[in-house]
Each structure stands twice: as structure tokens, then as C-alpha cells.
Structure 1
Amino acid sequence: MAETSVAGYAAGGTRRPNLKGLWTALAPWAFPIALLVVWEIAARSGLVTARLMPAPTTIAATFWRSLLDGTLLVHTLASTERALIGLAIGGGLGFVAGVVNGLWKPAETLLDSTLQMVRNIPHLALIPLVILWFGIGETAKIFLVSIGVFFPIYINTFYGVRTIDPQLVEMASVYGLDRKALIRRIILPGALPSILVGLRYALGFMWLTLIVAETISATSGIGYMTMNAREFLQTDMVLLGIIVYALLGKLADVATRAIEKRVLVWHPAYQVKPGDGQ
């Protein structure tokens, strides 16, 4: 009879739980959960003022109430739409500029110095000028988000293209690849890890910019919801808006990491190793 593996089974043939994998899944949530518990205890015991810092259970009740009446969904969808439009515009332009400047030296000479000067201007400092240009409508908000996401993607795309191994390019030339095939099959795949890092940074700037942009005379969006709640001293709604922003940011980061694992399966850094608990 084959001997049962001690590592794989406990007595009685029951498979042992993968404790390492369970810990890997739960560890990122340990600190937030502990923080919520401490916050709840402090609010209920009176260590913090309920009007200034409502208990998590109070915020949860506000979340449920606003979800049922549709308020939260409407504002979240409005914010998400602005964020995605700004990401598509600014991220697309940043990607194109990074590829062009990375591949073509004259373009870098003409454009990069100007872009670096503009990059060092805090884009949120442009709000008064943006209002003069575009007014207080949707265009101003989308423009600010586009500026916020442009530079992280541009810088990382440019860096990724410029740091392609020259030996790979030389080998591709030896095999007779034309310039179009070289870009599609060597340069862009090689630059993809850096581009995706830029995307993760851009998503953070996207939500940060949107928080501020939605305070500019908006009539919808999470920023509008929190500003309106502030006027009526609804601290629970203000905190709910902040938490929703944080969750949306986390969701965007998780989605980007999933894309990384899928499109970079060939990359050694993204391959699952034995013993990783997966």
C-alpha cells in the first residue's frame, strides 16, 4: 500500500489546510481590521467624540442607507466615469509620448525638456487657471485628471522603452525583423513591466486629483457628496466618501496587478514559484 504523505495529509487521511496560503490571503487585511476594532471601541467608550469620528458601525449604517436610496451608487458612478475618461485621455497621451520620445531621439530633444518642466508644476495648482479656461463643468475635472495621470505613465513608458536590452534589439535585427515588428514583438513587451508600474502610480494620482476636482462646483460625484455632507456636519457621510475613495483605489490597484500577472506570465518576476502557497 502506498504510504500516505505526511506533508500532505494529517491522521485519518484529512488534508491539512494550507496555513501559509491562508495567512498570505488574510495578512493584508489584518491591520485594517485591527484599526476598525480599536476605532469602534474608542468611539463607543467616549475616547473620541462621536460627532467628529463616528463609530465604524455608524458609518456602515450610513453606507447601507445611502446604498438603498441610490445616492451612493449615483455618485460613485459619476466619479468612476470621470476617472476612467481622464485615465483614457491622459494615459493614452502619456503612453504615446513615452513611446515616441523613447524610440526617436529628435522627439526627445524637442519635447522631453518641456514635459519635465511642466511635470514639476503641481497640477492641482492649475485649478484657478483651469477654471478660467474651461469653467466649472465636466471638462475642467476631466482635464485635471488627465494631467494627473499623464506623467506617471509617460515617465515609466519612456524609461521602459529606453532600457530594452540592446542585445535583444540586435538579435531581432539579425533575424530580419523590420521596425514595426521590432516595436510590436520586442520593445513594447520588454517595456510592459515598467508601463504597468506607471499605470499603478497613475491610478493613485487619478483618485487623488478627482477628490479635489470634484470640489469645484460639482453637482454629482463622491467629492460633491462629501462636501455637501460637510455643510450639514454629517461626519459619517464624509468618512464614508473617504472610505469609498480608498476602496475604489484598492480595487483599481488589484485590477492592475491581475493584469500584470496575466500579460507578464512570461516574465520571471511574475511566475509562481513552488512553495508560494498558490
Structure 2
Amino acid sequence: MSLAAMTVTAERQAATSGATARGLSTASKWLLGLVLPVGLGLIWELCVRSGLSNGRLVPPPSVIFATLSELARTGELWRHASATIWRVALGFILGTVAGTLLGALTGYSTFANRLLDPTLQALRAIPSIAWVPLFILWLGIFEESKITLIAVGVFFPVYLGVMGAILSVDRKIVEVGRIFRLSGPALVRRILLPAVLPSYIVSLRSGLGLGWMFVVAAEFMGASEGLGFLLIDGQQLGKPAQIVAAIIAFAVLGKATDTLLALGSAPFLRWQDAYGARG
């Protein structure tokens, strides 16, 4: 075998071993993340089975999983979950668009910041539940009011993230771009956007998390389907297992969507040599 062929073979083996190591590292991270919830669930299951608790108010995992399986078998779980996902998706899109535009405007323009930011900061302090009667009065109890409430929850983290990221851009970097005579669009694309993007991704994830929290309040507004409806139904009928099952569904869906957002944004942040990127 020639030296060139041996070199190519060694490079391929190194690449394969590196991919395998990355796969094992990813799998180990997922498994490590499951240690705490699975461990707590097993401990509680043992407490109930040993008679230390009757498990009536806080059912053991076996009862909860049986409830989830029954809801999945009858199709109720998928129907309620799809309704909730649809509401969160629409509210997230609307809140993200509005938060990005207003955040960029108030961050870039001093006049817009002084004009708009005080009012928006005051609105941010209003509890989510306080919007419910007003949105019902304006939009009724149908989907429009629910999606609007979720959009409000998503809006403020995105708005603050974008505005704060633009305001915190190092002035020296901007001056370097001007020295090289970058035009306005080029300055935004090559200087401002890379500087803002990491904080923007974090604000999107924060907004998505608040969207999942606000959807519960939204589905209290006369919803006939959704995971929030499952919570209310379980409370009214005295079904703690159904309540916990709905909470677990919220947690799984919230974590899944956050992971998808993080994975989708990762290619745009490959240029970062950050401490958080360690293995």
C-alpha cells in the first residue's frame, strides 16, 4: 500500500472514530439528563409500593404512565397535544416577529427607544392572567384570544433580548466597520448580526418557554381541547393522575421544542469559540 493510500485510510479511520465518539458523547449527555427524573420517579414508586404513601394525591409513575397510555390509545392525548402545539406555534411566530422588529427598532434608534421602551416595560410588568378578561372582551373566547395571549408572553423576552443585544454591541467593532466604509446593510450583516445572534437565540428560547407557560392560561379561557383543558378536566373530576400526565406532556413537548430550536440554531453559531461549547 502506498503512503498516500495509508494516509487516506488513517484520515477516514480518524473521522469515523471521531464521529463515533461524538455520538457516544451525545448519548451519554441524554442519559445523564434522565438520571434525576427517572431516579425520583423510581423512588416515589418504591415509596408507594412499600406503603409509605397511598399515592392518592401524587400518583406513582406506573399509574401516570397507565393514564398516558389510555389517553394515547383513545386518541385524546394526540388531539389535545396537537391543539396546544398549534396554539404555541402560532403565538410564538407572532410574538417573535413583533419582538424582533420592535427590539431592533428601539435598539438601533435612540428616539424610538425613548418613545416606546418606557411603555413596553410597563406593559411587561402586567401579569399574564390580567390580560385574560380583556382579551376575552376584545376577541371572544375562541382561538384569537388564546393565540394573542401566547404571543404577548413570547414578545417580551424576544424584545428585551434583541434590544439589549444591539445596545451592548461594542462601539469599537462598529467603528472598525465604518473605517472600512461598510454600507448600512453590510454593517448590519457583517457586524451587528453576528454580534446580536447569540443573545437573540437565547431570547427565542426564553420566549418559547414563556409561550408554553402562557398557553396554560390561554387554555383556561373556555377551551374545549388542549393540554390545559386536560388539567382543568382532571381537577374538576378529581383525577390527579390525569393532571400529572398533562404536566408531563407539557414538560416533554416543551423540552422537545426547545431542543429543536437549539439544534436548528447551532449551525449559525459555529463560529463561536465559547466556554459553553465545551464537550
* 8 Å Cα contact 1:157/1:191 also seen in 2: yes
Q: Is the Cα–Cα contact under 8 Å of residues 40 and 57 in structure 1 kept in the other structure?
A: yes
Match of residue 192, structure 1, among 197, 200, 220: 197
* Contact persistence 1:265–1:271 (CA under 8 A): no
Distance 2:208 2:83 in 1: 17
2:138 aligned to 133, 140, 144, which one?
A: 133
CA distance in 2, matches of 1:46, 1:152: 46
| Correspondence for 2:16 | none
Match of 1:38 in 2: 43
Q: For 1:50-65, what aligned pairs fall within 5 Å after superposition?
A: 50-65=55-70
Counterpart CA distance in 2 for 1:63 and 1:137 is 27
1:123 and 2:128 matched: yes
Of 70, 76, 79 in structure 1, the residue corresponding to residue 75 of structure 2 is: 70
Q: Check conservation: 1:264, 1:270, Cα contact below 8 A.
A: no
Q: 1:21 to 1:223 in 2, by over 3 A?
A: closer
Correspondence for 1:175: 180
Q: Does 1:203 align with 2:211?
A: no
1:59-98 to 2 correspondences below 5 Å: 59-98=64-103
Q: Is the 8 A contact 2:165 2:196 kept in 1?
A: yes
Residue aligning to 2:223: 218
Check whether the contact 1:102–1:158 (CA below 8 A) recurs between aligned residues: yes
Between 223-232 and 187-196, report the one with greater CA deviation: 223-232
- Gaps in structure 1 of 5+ consecutive residues: 1-14
Offset of residue 206 of structure 1 = 0.8
Q: After TM superposition, where is structure 1 displaced by more than 3 Å over at least 4 residues in a row?
A: 18-25, 270-273
Q: Which amino acid in the other structure matches residue 113 of structure 1?
A: P
Cα distance in 2 for partners of 1:245, 1:48 equals 26
Structure 2: segments with no counterpart, 5+ residues:
1-19
Distance 2:143 2:222 in 1: 10
1:28 counterpart (30, 33, 52): 33
Counterpart AA for 1:249: G
Root-mean-square deviation (CA, aligned residues, Å) is 2.3
Q: How far apart are the structure 1 equivalents of 2:25 and 2:269?
A: 25
1:21 deviates by 6.9
Equivalent residue for 1:250? 255
SS at match of 1:37: helix
2:242 is aligned to 237
Q: Deviations over 1:24-73 (max 9, x none)?
A: 44222211111010111122233333331222111111211211221100
Q: 1:268 is paired with a residue of what secondary structure?
A: coil
8 Å Cα contact 1:83/1:206 also seen in 2: yes
**Counterpart Cα distance in 2 of 1:269 and 1:228:** 46
TM-score calculated relative to the size of structure 2 = 0.86
- Shift in Å, 1:230: 2.3
Count of residue pairs the alignment pairs up: 260
Pair 1:271–1:202, CA change in 2 (3 A): closer
